[in-house]
Amino acid sequence: MFEKAQGEKVTLPCTFELSAEDEGPLDIEWVLIPADNQKREQIIIMYAVDRVYNHYYAGLTGRMQFTSLDPKSGDGSLDILNLKASDTGTYQCKVKKAPGVQSKKIQLTVLVKPARTKCSIEGSQEIGKDVTLKCVSQEGSPLLSYDWRRVSDTQNLPATSVLNKNTGELLLKNASREYSGTYSCVAANRVGTDECSVELNVTPPVNTAGIIAGAIIGTLLGLSVLCSIIFCFCKKHREKKYEKEVHHDIREDVPPPKSRSSTARSYIGSNRSSLGSMSPSNMEGYTKTPYSQVPSEDFERAPTQTPAFAPSKYDIAHKIGDITVV
C-alpha cells in the first residue's frame, strides 16, 4: 500500500526474474482494478515486442511511464507523476513469458493536504462570557485533526479551555482579560498541514444602558431639529401665500368704476339740481345748456331727429320791483 499527497510522484515497484523455461515473448502489463466489481479492468500501459504502448487510459496520459528504459531487463516498475485524487485505486502488474505468468497488486491512495484553513471567533469577547475559536480547512482528505496553541512565551492554552480535535473548536469558558492574545490553529492529515491564526481581545462588558440612553437622546434631538425645519418651512410658505393673496385681492367695499352712460346721467342730474337751487335773482343771464351737447353716447340721435323736452317751470318769470316772480 502506498499513500501519497496530491501533486507528488509515486513509483509502483514491479521487478521480476526470468527462468530458463520461459521461452515465449515477454509482455508487461499494468492494469487499474476499479473499486466497483461490476466494472472491467482497464489496461493503462503495456510493454510488448520491445515497444511501449501507453495510449489506453486517457486519465493518465502524459503522467505515467516505465521506470526503466529497458523493462525486459527485469524492472517493470511504473512511475506516475503529478498525482491526483482520482488516481486512487488498485494497480496490478502482470509479467507474461510463456509458459510463466506472475502478477502483483498495489493499493495507491492519493491524499489531499489541508489547504485554505480559516480561523474565526464566535461569541462575545467580553469578560465573564464564553467564547469559541473555530478552525476549518476548506480542503484536505480525511482524517483531519485540529490543534490550537497560544502564540506566547508559554504557548499554553487557558486552564478553562476545551479543545475538540475533530471539529477544530476551542471553547474558552468564563473569559478574562488575560485570555487576550493571538491563537494559532494547525490542521493536519497524514500527508500535510496547514495553519491559520486569530486575534482575541477580551474587554469589559459594554454599558448597554448608556448606549440606549444616548441613542434615545440622539433620536429626540434629531426629531426636534426636523420639526424646527418643517415649522420654519411652513411659516415661510404661509407668509408667501399671504403676500400673494394681498397683492391680487379686490376689496369689496370699493364701488366699481362708473360707466359712460351713468356718468352722463349724473351730469344731467347735476345740471338740473343746479337750476333748481338757483334763486330768482340769479336766473337773469342764465343760458340753458342744450342737452344735445351732453357727452353721452346714450343721448346721441340722428341729425333728422331733434329731441323735445318739456319746458321747465323756471322758463317764465316776472319782475316786480326788486322781486322776481317765477
Phi, psi (rounded to 5 degrees) for 142: -70, 155
Assess contact for 199 and 185: CB atoms under 8 A: no
pLDDT-derived band at 300 (thresholds 50, 70, 90) equals very low
Average pLDDT for the chain = 79
Helices (H) and strands (E) in the chain, counts: 2, 18
* DSSP conformational letter for 295: S
* DSSP conformational letter for 203: B
Could you report the per-residue pLDDT of 182-194, keeping only the tens digit for each? Answer: 999 999 999 999 9
Could you report the per-residue pLDDT of 40-59, keeping only the tens digit for each? Answer: 889 999 999 889 999 888 98
Q: What is the pLDDT of residue 287?
A: 45
User: Which of 24-33, 65-74, 204-213 shows the lowest mean pLDDT across its residues?
Assistant: 204-213
The whole-angstrom separation of Cα 133 and Cα 139 is 19
Return the residue matching grid coordinates 342744450.
290
Q: What is the pLDDT of residue 264?
A: 42
What residues are paired with 27 via a beta bridge? Answer: 48, 96
pLDDT-derived band at 258 (thresholds 50, 70, 90) equals low
pLDDT-derived band at 324 (thresholds 50, 70, 90) equals low
Pairing of strands 26-33, 42-48: antiparallel
| List of E strands, 205-253 | none
Q: Residues with Cβ < 8 Å from 61, sequence gap 6 or more?
A: 54, 55
Nearest to residue 306, comparing CAs of 322, 292, 319, 296? 292
Pairing of strands 181-189, 169-172: unpaired
* 198 vs 239: which has the higher pLDDT: 198
Q: What is the pLDDT of residue 6?
A: 93
| List of E strands, the chain | 2-5, 10-12, 26-33, 42-48, 51-53, 64-66, 78-80, 89-97, 100-111, 115-122, 131-139, 145-150, 161-164, 169-172, 181-189, 192-200, 318-320, 323-325
User: Which of 183-192, 199-208, 252-261 shows the lowest mean pLDDT across its residues?
Assistant: 252-261
pLDDT-derived band at 255 (thresholds 50, 70, 90) equals low
Whether residue 70 has pLDDT greater than 70? yes
The whole-angstrom separation of Cα 315 and Cα 278 is 13
pLDDT-derived band at 285 (thresholds 50, 70, 90) equals very low
The whole-angstrom separation of Cα 250 and Cα 237 is 22
Could you report the per-residue pLDDT of 137-156, keeping only the tens digit for each? Answer: 999 999 999 999 999 777 78
The whole-angstrom separation of Cα 15 and Cα 74 is 6
Could you report the per-residue pLDDT of 161-182, keeping only the tens digit for each? Answer: 999 999 999 999 999 999 999 9
H/E stretch holding 159 reads none
Q: Which three cell numbers stand for residue 6?
A: 496530491
pTM above 0.85, yes or no: no
pLDDT-derived band at 126 (thresholds 50, 70, 90) equals very high
The whole-angstrom separation of Cα 83 and Cα 64 is 10
